[in-house]
Structure 1
Amino acid sequence: MADINSTPSLTCATCSKAGATNGSPLQKCGGCRTTFYCSKDCQKADWKSHRTSCKKQNSTNSGTKQNGNGNFQSSKATMEAMLGLNTTTWLYNRPEAEVYTLLIDSYRMRVEDEYNFRGDVDDDSIYGGGDPTKGFRRFLLEAEKRSGVLPSWWNAEKRNACVAKGDSKDHWSTLHCAVEKSDVQEHYKKPSMPMQLRMLAEEIIGSNVMAF
């Protein structure tokens, strides 16, 4: 959700409060950007009733057409062109440890986005309170199904090593710690890095986080 200035005319769509209980401004849904909430809990509680109108509004705002796989292809192509990025070759010609880190952080960004934008919580994630390595392993298995996304040296042994790295808590890219856009930008010293990680996750999962 994106911060906005709280005004008397705006109230939380779930509890009708004019602002957050801690005095912070209301926040707007990251999908439609027209519905406001005082907290992530309120956004999550309202998701089932809000998701239909959110999808419709987001499609109108984006000006793109959604295909049968739930991808916004024109938007994706535009972003790749802007970033000079090809998500099917982005991991190529990188050191093994760096590939592991990018996959871990791409998954962490996706988990964060699904919680913020859609109110979805995977039980096997830092938000669901379960074992985050299980959700990440499923993510890697999906990556293996996508032709050309992973480097040619990737195999089951490398997958296990990548999961093990994510399970470790002695470095920044750990599955046991949530991550936000600002954290990624600060860590990588690159403003566009969150978008690059998001696009890699979209390539792996097969859908835009805004597609419902």
Structure 2
Amino acid sequence: MSSSTACASCSKSPPEVKLKHCAKCPEVKYCGRVCQTAHWPAHRAVCVGQTGGTPRTSVPPRSSAPPSSSSSSSSSSGGKLSPAKGVKKGIASPFTQLDKGTWLHNRAEADVYALLIDAYRLRAADMYNLEGEAEEDSIQGGAADGLRGFQRFLGRVAAARPALLPPWWDASKKTACEDLGMRAGQWSSLRAAVEKSDLIEHYGDSQFPMQLRMFAEAVYGKAPGGSSGSMMKAMMMAMESGDTGGYEATNIDLSKILGQRR
């Protein structure tokens, strides 16, 4: 491994270049995103192996509210509301709503803000874990927070897929959403990375990370690692309509269908 005072990929050192450390391995430094991406195949096993997942900062306290008896299932399928907790109110048939582009519609304002933040945070983690790609101003790239990346994410939603946002969305709501992400000591923090397991625990729904990933895929037009959630979404929609085809969601190996995402 290169000296900690030089880029781990090209070996250049200050003052020729400015170095930033890997979010999870402070001793490994890079002069930029190109070198970090190029070095990822060699660094991935060591980096991901340290905690078994995405680089992280401290994670704010999770919601301690117990799920209600009417929505305590860990599955999004069927007639139950999803997610079971972590929001003011879940929605029915979430995968059907994703397909219609109305997944964020008819939700409480605070819930929309939180879900946009989590869709971005999980997408950033997936891009890092699957493709070794980390934007320089992201947590995965060593920044203190992911505000800049989240602002680009919101801009992309508004420009490419504005109908995904609720009808009441405007510039003031965008600012309020960003402000929530920068508020200290709460779940929806852009100062902390998240993993799939964090999201499952917070929302009480084993399939909720899939919903967040599918929303982000609708925004970007593709999923990390070259995978596609279209087949899984069709399967989940069939289950929501009662046509399970002899399968239950708990019997499906989601990792194979979703490109081995963590």
TM-score, normalising length: structure 1: 0.60
**Equivalent in 119, 134, 139 of residue 148 of structure 2:** 134
Deviation at 1:148, TM superposition (A): 1.0
- 1:98 is matched with 111
Distance in 1, Cα, partners of 2:220 & 2:108 = 23
For 2:194, the aligned partner's letter is V
Q: How does 1:168-187 map to 2 (within 5 A)?
A: 168-187=183-202
Distance in 1, Cα, partners of 2:115 & 2:109 = 10
Structure label with greater radius of gyration = 2
Q: Is the 8 A contact 2:98 2:214 kept in 1?
A: no
Q: How does 1:1-212 map to 2 (within 5 A)?
A: 38-40=45-47, 83-87=95-99, 88-130=101-143, 131-145=145-159, 146-211=161-226
Q: Is the 8 A contact 1:181 1:194 kept in 2?
A: yes
Q: Is the 8 A contact 1:121 1:128 kept in 2?
A: yes
Q: Is the 8 A contact 1:40 1:116 kept in 2?
A: no
Deviation readout 1:84-138 (Å, 9 max, x if unpaired): 4425110000010000000000000000000000000011211112341111000
* SS at 2:125 equivalent: helix
Distance in 2, Cα, partners of 1:82 & 1:89 = 9
For 1:167, the aligned partner's letter is M
* SS at 1:86 equivalent: helix
Distance in 2, Cα, partners of 1:149 & 1:114 = 22
Deviation at 1:38, TM superposition (A): 3.1
Distance in 2, Cα, partners of 1:94 & 1:41 = 35
Residue ranges of structure 2 left out of the alignment (5+ in a row): 1-43, 50-92, 228-262
Residue ranges of structure 1 left out of the alignment (5+ in a row): 1-36, 43-80
* SS at 1:103 equivalent: helix
Q: Is the 8 A contact 2:121 2:194 kept in 1?
A: yes
Runs of 4+ in 1 over 4 A off after TM superposition: none
Q: Is the 8 A contact 1:139 1:205 kept in 2?
A: no
* SS at 1:98 equivalent: helix
Aligned length: 139
Please identify, of 100-109 and 143-152, the stretch whose mean Cα deviation from structure 2 is larger.
Answer: 143-152
